[in-house]
Structure 1
Amino acid sequence: MTDNHYKHDIETKQAILDNIEKYGCHLALLEADNYLPAFVYSIGLFKNFGHPEIICFGLKKEVMASIINHACDLIKRGETLATNKLYSGFLRGFDIQFLQVDKDYYPDYVGYAGWFYDMTFDFPVLQLVWPDKQHNFPWHKDFDPNWKFKQPLLDRNTDFKFYEERNLGVYTTSQAFNGDPILYVYHNEDGDWQFHTSLEPNLDDAKLVCLEEITKLDPTINELYHLQFGWWAWRDHKDDEWKYEEEIDEE
């Protein structure tokens, strides 16, 4: 962790403690990047009110903060928000619903909440899900396909965390399917993915396969679901943690 990251981490943790003491909860706001949507989640609702924390994706940060603050106000007044129920009053002109977040997603999205709860993920989280302009939710067959990946559904698909279709064509080499570990991953500026076993793969061995095949071949590839356009990741051995950074154009 660099000095700047360390300083930001310390300041963030102090803000979490201060806001929870003052308001009963803290809202963590994560910016969108060139690949993933912004999201906002609460910290402190479970400790102070025995209610699940709440997370929301894909809207403007100010809107997400507003609707989660509305949820917090309801919770402070004693209301318990539940799954499988339509709620009005959160998003003007539209109902919303809540899903129970699978704990397999906690390390990916609610890390500071884990820190607050004594470095554990022993707390519940609900995902606030919004519909498209025709009032269809993401699990409805007529949901706007252009919005499919604006809000991942965190109650399912823990075997495939990418924000793309399972059958997306990606590039690899035959060595990956012959037992060699995938050590180098590239998410190109144009959106293409490459998964290689060596730093300089032989293009004669190239294969086009479905992204799902790669995650089945090596489930740890799911850890790179967040890799931005124009970034790459690497590790020295299959059991090592991934390192990643933006690719440098050497033209």
Structure 2
Amino acid sequence: MDDQPCGCLICTGTLPGRDAKLLSTVAGQGWSALRVPGAVDFAYTVGLWHTFRLPELAMFGLEGDDMQGWLNSCAEHVRANGLPAAEVPFTGVIDGFPTQLRPVDESWRDAFFGTAHRFYRGRPVPFQQLVWPDSAGRWPWDEQATASSRTRQAFTWLPVDRHPAGGWRLLGEFGDDFPLPAEADSWALTTRAVLDGTRAPALVLFDDEVFDVLDDRGHDADDLCVTHLGSLVHRHPSLGGLGDLRDGWAATGTPAGGWHHTELTAEQRDASVAGWERGQETRVIG
């Protein structure tokens, strides 16, 4: 192992601040596996590079607690057997299934691995993604693989701007700069007309951390659908002006191009519930 300091918080003796527990775990156990909850969970390690000069590991799309365990198993496997060659399946991590590692493109670092970024004090360290197959053993890039295995895993070996459209790409594009009080990959009720840009957003509801982004027809529109909130912000940058919209409130567009905020009414909540029942039958990606 390279004995030179890696420049992390431990090597430099930097005060840990909010990462004190993480530093204690890395110092005592060698690494920590962190879970990141979201519309789809992911998990990653911090400390493998510091302790063993092994790439940090990331995993996407399964239950967060399970992925933490599998990342720990993968770390132990790599320590005992060496780092498998990229894109070569190996066993010993998930019972009954092979896995493989793929190098993570640098363009994902800031969006996904913020705690590691702080731990290594902004210095880039290598990451590899632990990729899992579907129940039939097909990898997510196989067109015959199940939809869940293909869409729930980020393809981080691709640069962000080459990733297929969807929630993972939106998270990579916005990073920590998403302007609304929700995640870019969260689902929002809207209309196809708003999504394709033929109608502008006129009414926005934010309730229980969920957005409705509607045109002047409101919930009576006949083309209700569900899409990622980040796609709507890309299409209509004016939505970025709603970063201060409180949960339980609505915003109505004004003639001057601004937004007027009012507390949600019972009627609006009822209309939203009915709208989601209709709109969620049509999910639009991108």
When normalised by structure 2's length, the TM-score is: 0.58
Alignment of 1:122-133 (within 5 A): 122-133=124-135
Change (3 A) 1:122 1:95: same
Aligned partner of residue 172 in structure 1, secondary structure: helix
Equivalence for 2:94: 91
- In structure 2, the residue matched to 1:5 is none
Q: 1 or 2, which has the higher helix percentage?
A: 2
Unaligned runs of 5+ in 1: 1-8, 222-232
Shift in Å, 1:62: 3.2
Indicate whether 1:58 and 2:73 are aligned. no
Match of residue 166, structure 2, among 158, 162, 167: 162
Moved over 4 A (4+): 184-189, 191-194, 201-204, 206-209, 217-221, 242-249
Matched, 1:49 2:57: no
Greater gyration radius: 2
Alpha carbons 2:45, 2:71 under 8 Å: kept: yes
Sequence identity percentage: 19
In 1, Cα distance between the equivalents of 2:95 and 2:212?
A: 38
Q: CA deviation at 1:75?
A: 3.5
Q: 1:170–1:149: structure 2 CA closer, same or farther, 3 Å change rule?
A: farther
Q: How many residue pairs get matched?
A: 211
Between the aligned partners of 2:66 and 2:73, the Cα distance in structure 1 is: 11
Residue 153 of structure 1 aligns to which amino acid in structure 2?
A: F
- Unaligned 5+ segments in structure 2 are 1-15, 171-190, 250-263, 267-286
1:170 to 1:219, Cα distance in 2 relative to 1, 3 A: closer
Q: Could you tell me how far apart the structure 2 residues matched to 1:131 and 1:153 are?
A: 13
Output aligned runs, 1:228-239, within 5 Å.
234-236=239-241
Partner residue of 2:40? 37
Instruction: Call closer, same or farther: CA 1:56–1:164 in 2, change over 3 Å.
Output: closer
Could you say what secondary structure the match of 1:29 adopts? strand
After TM superposition, give the deviation of residue 236 of structure 1 in Å.
Answer: 3.5
